[in-house]
Structure 1
Amino acid sequence: MKAQTPDFIGITLLELSSSKKSALINYGRLEGLELGDWAYLYIQDNQSQGENHPQFIKVAKAEVIKVHPDRSYWFLREVESYSYLTPGARLVMQLSSNDVRRKIKLRTTKRARAIESSSNKPVPSEIIQGQSEHIAGPRLNHTQIEKREDVQVIENTDYSISKNKHWDPEYEQEVESARLSNPIPNDNEPFKREREDDVFSSTAENSADKINNLKYGKTGLYYEIERDKANLAPDYNSGNSIYQQMIEEELNPSTVSKEAIQKMKREGPMYSASMSDQQLRKFFIQSGIAEERERQRQALGERSGHDITFRYTSALSTHTTAEDPNFQGTDYFISLAYEYQLLQTTPKLRDFALEVELERGVGHYDVGGTNIRMEEGSIKGYLHWYFWNSPTGIKKYLPYLGLGFRRGNAQSYSPDLSKDYDWQFVAFPSWQLGVKYRFRSGDERNELIKLGLGFNFQITGETVRHNTINEVEDNITSSFTTNQLKMSFGIGAYF
C-alpha cells in the first residue's frame, strides 16, 4: 500500500478554535512536516463493519500554517463533518508530502511572443476571396477538445526593435528582432503546485475509497505475501500475520506480570529458593503464573471443536403383551448427533455443551392387547453438563449428565389390524447419563489424518407419549404412555 498511496498517520487534535476552522495537532517538524504541506483528515470507524473492515470518513481538508518541533497549527479549508472535530479527537491524515506520485518532477515549457495590440483584430471582410460564393453547411456537433497543456498568455506591448537583422529559415528572409522591455518572470511554482495538488487529491480520495470497499477487509492485504519456496512449514503450522498477532495481543493480553518475568530471568531456576510455601503460592497467584500455567495445561490437554457421533441404541425395557405372540422383538435405533461446546461462546460455559441428534429406529408396543411394530423417526435436543472433565479434554474420560426432549413421527403395522396407523410422539423429560473418551486429537505431528476420534457410551431414560393421528377403526387405544430405558454405544469424530 505504501508504494501506491500516501500513509495514514494517526494524530490527535490538541486544541480547536470556536469556529472549528483552525486546529493544533500533535505532529510537527520532527516528523518531517514542512510549512505549506496540506492533508486530508479522516475519522477511522471500526464499529459499523467490525475491526477487520475499517471505514475512513472524510472530515476536512487542511493546510499547515505554522510548524513547531512537536506540534503544528492548521487551517481547515473544506470541513465536511464538524461533529468529529472536538478537542482530543483521534483522527488519521494523509499528508501531501508523503505522496510518492507527487514527487515526480513536472516538465514545463515557456514561450514568449511579442505582438502589437492593434494587430489583434479580425480579418477584414473585403480581402476575403469568394465570400459571396460561401454556402452555409450543417452545424457540426461541438465536442470538447482534450486539454494537453496549460498556456499562460501575457500581453506585453512594451518592446523595442533591434536594428540588426537576422536570417529566419521559417520565413526564408531577414527579419528584425523584438526585445521585451520587461522580461516574463520565470515562475512556474504556482503551475507546478496546482498540478501536484491535483495528483495528490485523486490519490488520497481513491485510496480511502479502496480501503472502505475491501472485500476481505484488512486480511486481504496479505494475500500477496510469498510462502517459503522450500516449503518447510506446512499450511496448518504457518504463522499469523503481523496484523493478526496485534489483534490477538489486544484480545488476549499476557497474564504474567512483567515484574515476575524479570525476577525469573534475573535469578534463574532458583528464583523461588528463598520463599516459603505460602509465599510461593502467593507469588504464583498474584503474578499470574498460576493462571498462565493452567492455561498452558488446558491448551495442551484439550481441543475444542465440532463433535459428530454415530450411535447404535438398544432398548433395555419392553412394552409388549404376552397375549399376542407377534412383535416380541427388542427395540433398536441408529442416530447421528452433533455436539457444540459452549466454551466457544464464553469461557464461563466451558463445562456445558449442546447436542442435536437425528434418530431412526423400530419399536414394539402393546395397544390394548395387540402388539404393533412402529418405524420411528425423531429429532432430539439435549444440554450436557460435564461434571468431571471439560468436554474438550483429550485422552480423558468425560462423564456427563444430559437433559432434553425427543419429538417425532411413526407408522405402525400389525396383521391383526385392518390398516396401518400414523402416530406422533413426544418424550419429555428425557435424561442421559454417559461418558465419552477421546483417544486421539488429530492435530499432532505424527498423525496423518487430521481428525480427532473417540467413543461414547450412554444410558437414556424418558417418558414417551404416543398419539394416533388417523381415525381408529380397530379395537386399540388411540394414545398410550411408556417409560423407556435405552443403552447406546457410539463412535465419534471431532475437528
Structure 2
Amino acid sequence: MRVKILSLMVLGVAIKIIFCWWFGLGCFWSSSGFAEVAYSGKILDISVSGQSVIIDRGKNHALVKNEQAIFYVYEKHNPIIKDYLMKEVARGRSIEVKDNSSYWYLHQIDDPKLLKNQKKIYFITSSQVLRGRVDTPTEHETIVLGKNQNVQSYQETSENGLAEKFARKKHEYRQDEQEIIIATDENPTIHSNYYSSWRNGNPQTVKELKQDVETKYFDTVTEERFKGEIEKKNEEDIFYSSAQASMNTFNEKQLYGEQSDDDEQRLNDASMQRLKEPDLRWSKDLTDEELRKFFIESGTFKERKRQKFALQNSIATEFVFKYGSSMVKHANENDLGQKELTKFWGVGIEYHLLRLSENFRKWTLDFYYEKAVGYYDVAELFSRENVKIVADEKYYKLGVNYYFYNYPSTLYRLLAHVGVRMGMGSAQAKYVEYGEMDSYAVTIFPQIHAGLKYRFKAQDEDQKNGIGFGLNTLLSYELLQFRMDEKKTDDSSGSFDVHDLKLSVGLGVFF
C-alpha cells in the first residue's frame, strides 16, 4: 500500500513539473513576437515638464540620433486582474545618443504618471520597424486658401462636404483624416499638402513638415504590425482572470451597441456618393425623419440658420430722432385756441442686447432725451375755475423693448415691438391768467408703448458702407406726475397728474 501511495505522489509531482514547463514555454513564445523587436531600458532622469527623458540605452545598443520610438510599460489595469498589461505611454524622437544613454523628446504623452525615474520601460524604434523597407518619397501640393478660410474647413469640404461625424469610417472607426494611406503598388508615395493664405498682399504659409509626415508614417506602420501581437499578449493575461473576462464581455456589448447606434446615424454609401456630386436627389434613400436628423446633427441646419441671419440682419446701435403730439386735449379750445395739444420732440439711442447674448436676441434697451410744450387745465390746484398753464417740459427716459415680430436687427422687413419706459424731468409753467411762473418736478411712470419699424441699408449689400436707416412710429400711454417745487399759496395742492396718449414718428440711423 505504501509503495502504491508513493508512486502516486511521484506521478503527481511529475505532472506538475511538466505542466509548469509547458505553461512557461507557452508564455515565452506568446511574448517573443513583441520582445524580439522591442528594447527594454530604464529611465535615468525625466524633466520637470515630463517631455524629456534620459534612457540607459545608446549607441552600444544600436540606437541612433533622430530616431522615433513608441514607449510602453507594464501596469496593473484593474485591481481585479492579477497580471500586468502592456500599455503605450508615449511617443518621441531621440535628440542625442551617447554610448550607453540617450536623450528623448516626447511629442505625445498618453499617461505622464507612468513615466518615473528608475522605472523600466520598453520601446520600439523606427529603424526596427522600417528596416528593409524601401524609402517612400513624399509629394507636396501647394493649396492657396481664401482670406477667411482655414486649413481644417478646406480639408473637411474637399473630402466629402460633410461634418466629420457623418463621414464613413473604417478600421474600427479610426479617424480617416489622421491616417496615412500607404499605396500597395511597387512605388508607394506619401502625399502631403502645403497650405498658403494671402494676407495684406503677403503669403502666410502653414506647412505640414516632412518630419511630421514621417512620424505619421512610422506610427501607422507600427500600429498595423504590432497591434495584434500586443493585444494578443494582453488577452492572454486577461484570460487568467475570470472576473475581468466578464467585465470585458459586458464592455464589448456596450461598445457594439454604441457603434451600432453610431452607424445608424451615418449616411449610406449611395447617399454619400450622390452628395459629392451636384445631384439634388442625393437624399432620396432617406426618410423625412432621417433627413431631418441628418441636417440637425450634422450642424447643417444650424449653419444655414446662421447664414440666413447674417444676410437678413444688421446688429447695430441706433440713433433716433422723433417728433410727436399728444392725442388727448388737457385744456379747452376756447381759452387756448388751437394750441391745446402737447407737442414734443426727442433724440435717443437704442442698443441691441444681442451684442451681449443670443438669449436676448429680441430685446433692446433705449435712452431718450425729450422736450415738450404742454397745455393743462390746473383749476384743481387752486380750487377755482379757468386756471390754465403752458409748461415747457424736458425729460430723461430709460426703457426696454421686446420685438415680437422679427428681430430688432432685421433688415427689409416690418418689425413690431412693445415696451415700457420710466422717466424724470422738470417743467417751467406759466399761468395764462396771471402771467406768473412756477417750477415743477415731473415723474413719468409708467410709459407703455407699441411700435412699428422698418430698417434698410443706405447702399446695396455688396457695398462696404455699413450705414443704414430705420423708419418708426410709436403709440404710447403715459402717466405724468407734476409736483410743484414750492407752493406759493395755501389753497394750492401743489401737484396734479396727467394721463396722456401720444403718437410719434421717427428716423433712426445705425452703423
TM-score, structure 1 normalization: 0.50
| Structure having the larger proportion of residues in helix | 2
